[in-house]
Amino acid sequence: MLGHCSNYRQHYLQHAPTIIKVLQDAPISPIEEIGLKTLFRNCIGTFLVLHELLLFLPRETLRKELHFFCEELFRPAYDSDDLSVILTSVYNAFEYSLDSALRQSDVFLMKVPDPNKLAFGHVMELAIIDRDNPLSWPILAHEFGHYIDQKFTITDPLTETFIDTELKVPAAQRAHFRKLFKPLASELFADLTAYYLLGPVAILPIVNMELTFGMATEKPIPYDGVHPFTSTRLQVITDAAAADQMTLGLFGMYTQALNEDELAKVSKLPQAEQKERASVRQYTTFFAQRLRGVFLEEIARLNLSRFQVEHFQTAEQLRISLESGIPIGCKRRVADEVIGDRISRLTRTAPIAEIREVFELYREIPVRVAEVLTAAWIANTGRKVKALTDAFALGDISGVFPFLRQSLERQDALVMKSIEMISVIKEMVSAPQ
């Protein structure tokens, strides 16, 4: 932001001779007058836009746990201040360029720009209502995917190659196919980046959002020309996870709910629309299947930390502690049964070195944030029906929503505490006392 403003310093210096003339009441030429007016208008415009943006922003800061989440997943981009996250007042997560936001703000109508029309860049929005909701933070990993796609120009050339070599379309139709596939490629790449960093649960906040809001409408979510249908996106991630040996029982509930909802709604549409949707599904699925592997290879080149099957297994173990109400930021390397066996055989007369060796078995090491979030999503998915059953079994209808709220907030608090544990211990290890 300051970098953008500093450009004006240069512009002012360039126009300094004209400014001096004006200050001295000396005559200036019509060209100098236009130049000066443009400079003032742009400069004032920028500051008004900055003011406008600040005015519309919520007055809340990001949580320190979210900073750690971004640092662990997105470094070194996040460390180098190349990337920032802000909270927004809308139920939205978006990733955009600040320059684009400044250019498109309508200062005179005092409107913030429509994020959907902004170019991708390096500012990631998070809805303020998700500030304390860590299960929604994986959406930022999707937005990070757009950032790296933009920064390293990944999907555009790959899509071009796909159109030329796989589809083999005539030159006259290439523009049409580019328009069709480029936004899709960008979204699929972002989904796969989130999957690469956080594992299969990275798609669940998006699915959850659609289940929450989409189910409230009579019509199926329309195809916007950019995002594939959520069920297709879920299928892409399920396929990727299966290829990585991650079995996703937890997805069954989501897949079933999404498919049933969509089928019921689509069946009420006119035949022509049904046919069109089937065609969209067909070509997005084909496109995703063809490019999934290539996209993952491209992400792998960026030296990001990949979520793999062993992390998924750790998460499944951590879920048990989380469901018992215990924070899960750390784990022991050795199973409790093994330690129990060693300590029970230890005598008080054993050499000090041997006793300390047993002590060492109790050491807990920090897990990954991605493992914590995966454990929380698994627990959350399995818990929903039980939580609802327990809440309605209370007998007091006024107590149902407070009960559900308490249950949800408790898990969020446990996840936050787990992230705090990871960050404190990692910092201790990097800077020993």
Partner 1 sequence: MLLNDLDILKRLVDPDPTKRIVVTPLADPIAQIGPSSLDIRLGAGFKVPVSSQTPAINPYKEPQSAARYMREVDVDNRQPFYLHPGEFALASTLEYIHVPYDLGCRLEGRSSWGRLGLLVHATAGFIDPGYSGNVTFELFNAGRLPIELKPGFRMAQLCFMTLSDVPGIPYDKRPESKYHQMLTAEGSRIWKDR
Binding site for partner 1 (CB under 8 A): 63-64, 67, 325-327, 329-330, 336-337, 339-340, 343-344, 346, 348, 355-356, 358-364, 366, 410, 413-414, 416-417, 420-421, 423-425, 427-428, 431, 433
Nearer to partner 1, 112 or 416 (CB): 416
Least spacing, CB of residue 318 vs partner 1, in Å: 11
We find the least distance from the C-beta atom of residue 433 to partner 1, in angstroms, to be 7
- Positive/negative CA dihedral, 373, 378, 382, 384: positive
Q: Give the nearer residue to partner 1 in terms of CB position, either 71 or 156.
A: 71
Which CB atom, from 11 or from 67, has the smaller least distance to partner 1? Answer: 67
Minimum distance between the CB of residue 12 and partner 1, rounded to whole angstroms? 37
The number of beta carbons lying within 10 Å of the beta carbon of residue 238 is: 18
Nearer to partner 1, 67 or 306 (CB): 67
Instruction: Measure Cα distances from 331 to 326, 336, 372 in Å.
Output: 12, 11, 11
* Minimum CB distance to partner 1 smaller for 235 or for 411: 411
Shortest Cβ 366–partner 1 spacing (Å): 8
Closer residue to partner 1, CB minimum distance, 268 or 363: 363
Cα distance between residue 368 and residue 63, in whole Å: 18
Of the pair 164, 336, the CB lying nearest partner 1 is at: 336
Q: What's the closest the beta carbon of residue 81 comes to partner 1, in angstroms?
A: 15
| Identity of the residue, 276 or 409, whose beta carbon is nearer to partner 1 in the bound complex | 409
Residue type, 130: D
Least distance from C-beta 4 to partner 1, angstroms? 27
Cα angle, residue 302 at apex, residues 198 and 179 outer, rounded to 5°: 85
* Residue 331 C-beta: closest distance to partner 1, Å: 9
Amino acid at 332: R
Torsion angles phi and psi, residue 106, rounded to 5: -95, 95
Q: How far apart are CA 231 and CA 211, in angstroms?
A: 11
Encoded tokens for 2:
């300051």
State which residue, 184 or 315, has the beta carbon closest to partner 1.
Answer: 315
Q: Note whether 73 and 370 are within 8 A (CB).
A: yes
As a whole number of angstroms, the distance between CA 138 and CA 145 comes to 11
Rounded Cα gap, residues 377 and 204, in angstroms: 8
Minimum CB–partner distance for residue 324 and partner 1 (Å)? 9
Distant-in-sequence, close-in-space partners of 164: CB < 8 Å, separation ≥ 6: 174
CA–CA separation, 361 and 348 (whole Å): 17
The nearer residue to partner 1, 173 or 406, going by C-beta atoms, is: 406
Give which of 124, 145, 152, 1 is closest to 67, Cα–Cα: 124
Burial class (CB in 10 A: 0-12, 13-18, 19+), 28: middle
What is the number of residues in the chain?
Answer: 433
**Residue 352 C-beta: closest distance to partner 1, Å:** 11
Q: Least Å distance between CB 199 and partner 1?
A: 22
Alpha carbon distance 185, 341 (integer Å): 54
**Where do we find the tokens 């210096």?**
13
Short-list 383, 333, 396, CA closest to 361: 333
- Give the C-alpha separation, 342 to 325, whole Å: 27
Closer residue to partner 1, CB minimum distance, 394 or 424: 424
How far is the C-alpha of 323 from the C-alpha of 336, rounded, in Å? 18
CB of 95 to partner 1, least distance (A): 25
Nearest CA to 185 among 197, 193, 195? Answer: 193
